[in-house]
Structure 1
Amino acid sequence: MFREAARKRLKILKITDGRAGHMTVSDGVIEAIKKVYLVEIIELDIKLRAKFLLSILKFILKYQLMENQFSLNDWYIKLFYKNYRKTDKKIDLIVSTGGDTLFANIWLSKVLDTKNIFCGTLKGLNPKYFSLIISTSEQNVTNSIKLDILPTQMNAKKTIELAERFCNEKKIKKDEKYFVLLIGGNGSGYIYSKDDYKYLVDSFMSMVHKYGAKAFITTSRRTGAENEKSMIELFSNYNEDIAYSVFFNKNPEKVVPVYLELGSVIFVTEESGSMISESLFFKKPVFTLYPKKVKEQKGYKRFLNNLIDKKRIKRFAIGSDLAEVNLNTNDFHYMEEMPIDYLAEKIKPYIEDMHQ
């Protein structure tokens, strides 16, 4: 199908902010491009020096202060980002995910005089700064592709191998019933209190015990060390029902794909679109959990409602009695086409237009 186009090789600069959820989405976009073209990847892992700088960067873009030659010097981007290094290669395309990479994506597209793709929401920025926007929310512009879920890269064969190794190393029995709990933290308008985390631990573990299952648990970077400290103590009351647990800020072990492969039911805190998207790849019941305090963001709300309407997920308040949740898998409609395959079809004409 793509034989003629595949003769062309693209040099892609992948800008990352070091966050696993964002990196796997960028990898998913590049994987979709690989179905159409040969690809060489150059990585640039940068860190925003401080969060408040995002407001300054938005101001710069809003008033088009990056349009002059003065702003295109390397020192300009180094004011805002750590670890920046200039590439000496000719770049055909830039790909990045996450708000912290927005400015670097735009700046480098100007400096390198190349096209750029951003995956995520624009945070109020003008779409004109991007050649293509890939998002789970409708952008209402011609240079965008809307997906139901993020195109997270997932290698099924490799995941199965990792699960086998995990079971052997950790003495985990593959034939037992496992419930997965992916715990995040504040973000996307969701604000978690200590009570939320306490309710979450007690309610989830009561459900695990009721169904005679074992728990796979992991927190994430955004959970925070203080919240983890409290939860370690709370989970210690349920050690007999826990197969394995990871507290990311204490010991950042990457176990999510393995958990999702081995688990039969998945629970995930609702603020993370990337964790929800990754969970849906495995075609298992996915329940999202939200705290008492949520400052609704319209785009993210539409993303969740779309998944609910299509019966991809079910959502519950953290204060709910999860032991009463109906785990009937017939209530879910699993994805038939993976987003990377769908994206490969949709992205082809955009890439062709970029490089005519």
Structure 2
Amino acid sequence: MITPKAYYLCSQYHGSNKQLGSVAEHIFPEHETSALKVDLRTRAKLFFPFYELFIFLIGLFGADSHIAKFLKRIAMRGHIPVVNDSDVIVLKTPPFEYVALLLAAGSKAKLFYIGSPKRVKSERFGELISTPSTPCASATVMLDMLPTEKSYAEYRERSEVFQGSRYALLLLGGDAKGYHYQSDDWVKISNFVNNYSDITGIKWVVSTSPRTGIDAEKILKSQIDKNACECFVCWGDGDRKTVFDCLTGACEVFVTHDSASMISEAINVRLPTIVIRPDKTEYNSLTVPLVDHMVSKRAAMDIKCSDLSLESVGEWKNKEFKPINKCWVEAWERGD
């Protein structure tokens, strides 16, 4: 008997691929998870009618027919599998709508789309998943956050056997659409880390990412007191540690505003999450709606670098913070 596959369509964005892979893994545990790097040979609208014709012909002749394989090779590039009736395909963003439809043509495979389709009617997808970052008015699944790499149950299992003192975790992104960090921003964050440790006695784990950049990492390493920092996971130095690994022993999380995936990871495990933004920002359609939504639910605090202080953070944690009562996997399973 052939094991059904849960395919997810990969893009150039690492965070998005992790989200799709997590959906495939957690929502379809009986399926074999498989990443697909497949794309259209051209995304020009001129070719959309031809894709529709190909989908019709593949449905007519069957997904395993020679004609179907030939048409798919004309339309797409990459490893193109034969999709079976019991398979599912998980995708996100408009460029992959026709990719999924072409792959699934001639089969009864179900398509799971995160967000709102733009190029084809939403009825052509089996399930539509809405998040604050990727809203969809006709969604069949509503989530409070982006899917994360691990579920809360997996985090709790790991955290309960953690050996050692709990620490404050600082997850750092970097420049992105609407966000440009100045040297002064990194200095302000570093000063806060030092002051927070001096007053509370708590140690820090600091983790940078590819977007942080070598210049910012140099500032952070020179400004953060070694006595305050238990561990510095520096991407530029080749250090590699997943966000989930960093979260295991944390008692609270400070994360930069530019990373929707890291923000979701922190909130998903029900830790106090303080989201730090540069003093000057522009609108980002992915992160701002997510942070605003979580602030309204009291699961996150939104604060500028220049406003960081022990008093402001402590008051929010003691009086305002309210952890979510279910992670994204639980919300999906319950149909909430």
Q: CA–CA distance in 1 between the matches of 2:47 and 2:139?
A: 19
Q: CA–CA distance in 1 between the matches of 2:333 and 2:154?
A: 21
Residue in 1 aligned with 2:30?
A: 39
Q: CA–CA distance in 1 between the matches of 2:312 and 2:164?
A: 24
1:223 to 212, 224, 236: 212
Task: State the shift of 1:266 in Å.
Answer: 0.8
Residue in 2 aligned with 1:339?
A: 328
Q: What letter corresponds to residue 26 of structure 1 in structure 2?
A: L
Residue in 2 aligned with 1:283?
A: 270
Q: CA–CA distance in 2 between the matches of 1:343 and 1:72?
A: 36
1:234 paired to 2:219: no
Q: CA–CA distance in 2 between the matches of 1:164 and 1:142?
A: 39
Residue in 2 aligned with 1:170?
A: none
Q: Are the equivalent residues in 2 in contact too, given 1:220–1:247 (CA < 8 A)?
A: yes
Q: Secondary structure at the match of 2:248?
A: helix
Residues matched between the structures, number: 313
Q: Are the equivalent residues in 1 in contact too, given 2:5–2:34 (CA < 8 A)?
A: no
Task: State the shift of 1:331 in Å.
Answer: 2.1
Task: State the shift of 1:117 in Å.
Answer: 1.8
TM-score, normalised by the number of residues in structure 2 = 0.77
Q: What letter corresponds to residue 95 of structure 1 in structure 2?
A: V
Q: CA–CA distance in 1 between the matches of 2:24 and 2:289?
A: 25
Residue in 2 aligned with 1:3?
A: none
Residue in 1 aligned with 2:45?
A: 60
Q: Are the equivalent residues in 2 in contact too, given 1:135–1:146 (CA < 8 A)?
A: yes
1:15 to 9, 24, 27: 9
Residue in 1 aligned with 2:295?
A: 308
Residue in 1 aligned with 2:128?
A: 133
Q: Are the equivalent residues in 1 in contact too, given 2:257–2:287 (CA < 8 A)?
A: no
Residue in 2 aligned with 1:269?
A: 256
2:164 to 151, 174, 179: 174
- Which structure 2 segments of 5+ residues have no match? 56-69
Residue in 2 aligned with 1:324?
A: 311
Q: What letter corresponds to residue 266 of structure 1 in structure 2?
A: V
Distance change >3 Å, CA 231–CA 105, structure 1 → 2: farther
Q: Secondary structure at the match of 2:274?
A: strand
Larger displacement relative to structure 2 (213-222 or 190-199):
190-199
TM-score, normalised by the number of residues in structure 1 = 0.73
Residue in 2 aligned with 1:106?
A: 98
Distance change >3 Å, CA 200–CA 345, structure 1 → 2: same
Task: State the shift of 1:153 in Å.
Answer: 4.0
Deviation per CA, 1:134-160, whole angstroms, max 9, x where unpaired? 232374532453311123242567556
Task: State the shift of 1:247 in Å.
Answer: 1.4
After superposition, residues 154-193 of structure 1 pair within 5 angstroms as: 154-155=150-151, 159=155, 174-175=164-165, 177-193=166-182
Residue in 2 aligned with 1:152?
A: 148
Residue in 1 aligned with 2:20?
A: 26
Residue in 2 aligned with 1:85?
A: 79
Q: Are the equivalent residues in 2 in contact too, given 1:105–1:116 (CA < 8 A)?
A: no
Task: State the shift of 1:233 in Å.
Answer: 3.2
